Amino acid sequence: MELRGKQKRYLRSQAHHLQPIFQIGKGGLNSAMVVQINEALEKRELIKVTLLQNTDEIAEEVAESLKTEIHCDIVQIIGRVLVLFKPSSKEKYQKISKEVKAI
């Protein structure tokens, strides 16, 4: 499901107060990190990922590879910060996704 403008705007407002919980550094984006990001999205639905200064990765490329590997939506990319959203498959974690569906 592709996010509509209003939905993205809502998610951006929700993500504004979040602290990035993943940092991609010198090692770049590895498979273990992809698994961890997927698990975090399962529980939180909306997370921020930061690219540190010492990484060779490019934010847009990281976002695209995450999108294809774990099927999440890229809400926003600002500089070196990615905002990712993926509806949780578990009912008890589906707080944000229910509100997004309503928009």
Is-above-0.75 flag for pTM? yes
81 vs 10: CA distance, rounded Å: 18
Domain 5-90, classified CATH 3.30.110.60, yes or no: yes
3-37 pLDDT, tens digit each:
899 999 999 999 999 999 999 999 999 999 999 99
88 vs 46: CA distance, rounded Å: 10
Q: Any idea where the domains of the chain sit in the sequence?
A: 5-90
CB 23 within 8 A of CB 40: no
Whether 88 has a pLDDT exceeding 80, the answer reads: yes
Q: And the tokens for 93?
A: 């974690």
29-85 pLDDT, tens digit each:
999 999 999 999 999 999 999 999 999 999 999 999 999 999 999 999 999 999 999
Q: Give the confidence band of 1 by pLDDT, cuts at 50, 70, 90.
A: low
